Amino acid sequence: MKNIQNIGLGLFLTGLAIFIALVFLGKYELTPQLLDQVIINKGIKSELFIDDLKTNVVEKEFTNPFSFSSQITSALKTANETHKQNSEWDKVIWDKPHSFSYQIAKSAGSGMVKVNKWLFWWLTFGLGIIGALLFIIPKVITLGPAGIKNNGIYHSAATNRGWIGWFAFIFLVGFYILLYFRPDYIVNWVYLVDPISESLNGNPASQWFLYGFLYCTVMTVMAVRMYIKYRHNKYQILRTTSVLFFQIVFAFLIPEILVRFEKPWYDFKNAFPLDYDFFFKWNLDELINSGGLGLFILVWGIVLTLVIVPVMVYFFGKRWYCSWVCGCGGLAETLGDPYRQLSDKSLSAWKFERWLVHGVLVFALVMTGFTLYSYFSGAEAVLGIKTQTIQDVYGFLIGAIFAGVIGTGFYPIFGNRVWCRFGCPLAAYLGIVQRFKSRFRITTNGGQCISCGNCSTYCEMGIDVRAYAQKGENIIRASCVGCGICAAVCPRGVLKLENGPEKGRINPTDVLLGNDVNLMDLVNQK
């Protein structure tokens, strides 16, 4: 079995190496015909930009995306600066430079990757998937008897911030930086999924389709690992199946199929304020102009946020969304599972978490208030602050850096729920409801606790579960996502996830001594 696993690891690393190498391959040539098409499609009126491209780019072959992008973004920046100085606002090209360059590069690219998309798909995605499964599946046997195994987790370079963990950190952070800020560098990666995109939505792939496909692929492969590791725990099997289903069907397949029928791309499970741009002008206009389905989506999004979310949290806690439905949580629970023990359990981390996550929620609500005021009043600014500016700031800091680069990239170093714990505004909203108005709690039997610390060690949200268990105190923390791992790894059955009456849900926080209270009266009250 070890030999099979080693072969699988070799295949995975080979696919990963080829995937990385694709960034540096390919040829790019902007033809006069393609330039004319870009000018018409974009409505470009800048003679400076057009002349610069004709002089330095058109009919010249570039052997890598970096030099090609550099010429286009430089021409764009130079032309825009001149037009702004001369107040020629109609000639300014307002597109983000590297997004604009990506659109040209996608059409101007050539070479063996673009010609042999399926071949290179198998050499990257194919080898990666097969290799990972060959490494994971033999664990059915190598893990041994029933039970959750975390043997050697603090002695592995991959799961204890060793060199493998740091390599994974650098790769993930680098991937997200390229995806969000330098898509023109990863055109070859996008070519790989063009055939899949065309079969689903009828259009060539974008970097976001690549991301969606890769997201689902990684979750599926790592879900197999979850099924094997937690195969004796029905709750974990059902939870993993649920998040996998909602991600693949609701967050990927349905939205792409909607596009094929010329309908708005929409993830029906994505609730505001996680879906922070739901009330942006461009989205509201698109939904309103899309007929019956668009209006249904608009109503559904509002009802989901204001009615369904709090009602479900009341009956089942925030776990119904964070651990059973959410795509961010799904990736954290599958890809991030090997890193859950790295979450900071300190009191200072908890204090920082509360200030930060609720601060993001307030930021999202203020931004949305500005947005709706501008939408209905027609004003561009509120209290002297431009609505577009606050939207751009939120999109960059929270939507891209926090949710993407930090949220996933930091898994191997800071644990798998960095985004959910410190940055997700929806998690903050759910947590407030869960803390003060919910039937969900994790009950503890302090008399059975042996203080082994497994529960605290593997709590991905950084909760010191053992401290509650030792006192026999219910866990009702706003941050708890109800993943159930604490109960699964407890050797004594001390912890239990329950939905019960609100009365008695919040029990005393102090250790009770016999001479302080009539214990029988307390038992009868409960």
pLDDT tens for 33-90 read: 999 999 998 899 999 999 999 999 998 989 999 999 999 999 999 999 999 999 999 9
Q: What is the mean pLDDT of residues 306-314?
A: 96
Cβ-based burial of 296 (10 A; exposed 0-12, middle 13-18, buried ≥19): middle
Question: Please, how many CA atoms are within 13 Å of residue 40, restricted to the half-sphere of its CB?
Answer: 6
CB 266 within 8 Å of CB 297:
yes
Using CA atoms, how far apart are residues 476 and 127, in angstroms rounded to an integer? Answer: 44
For residue 526, what pLDDT is reported? 55
For residue 446, what pLDDT is reported? 78
Which residue(s) pair with 382 in the sheet? 385
Using CA atoms, how far apart are residues 113 and 191, in angstroms rounded to an integer? Answer: 7
pLDDT tens for 319-335 read: 999 999 999 999 999 99
For residue 13, what pLDDT is reported? 97
* H or E segment to which residue 381 belongs: strand 381-382
For residue 276, what pLDDT is reported? 94
For residue 516, what pLDDT is reported? 53
Kindly report the average pLDDT of the chain as a whole number.
92
Residue keyed to tokens 């929806």: 426
Name the pLDDT band for 210 (thresholds 50, 70, 90). Answer: very high
Residue 343 CB contacts under 8 Å (≥ 6 apart), including other chains: 414, 415, 416, 417, 421, 459, 460, 461, 462
For residue 236, what pLDDT is reported? 96
Task: Tell me how far the alpha carbon of residue 357 is from its chain's centroid.
Answer: 16
Instruction: Give SS3 for 28.
Output: strand
Residue % of the chain over a pLDDT of 70: 96
Reduce the secondary structure of 398-458 to three states and give it as a string. HHHHHHHHHHHHCHHHHCCCHHHHHCCHHHHHHHHHHHHCCCEEEEECHHHCCCCCHHHHC
What single string gives the DSSP state of each residue in 103-133?
HHHHHHEESHHHH-HHHHHIIIIIHHHHHHH
For residue 298, what pLDDT is reported? 95
Which residue(s) pair with 497 in the sheet? 442
pLDDT tens for 418-464 read: 999 999 999 999 999 999 999 999 999 878 899 999 999 999 999 99
The residue among 270, 266, 222, 229 whose CA lies nearest residue 244 is 222
For residue 345, what pLDDT is reported? 93
Using CA atoms, how far apart are residues 466 and 468, in angstroms rounded to an integer? Answer: 5
pLDDT tens for 338-371 read: 999 999 999 999 999 999 999 999 999 999 999 9
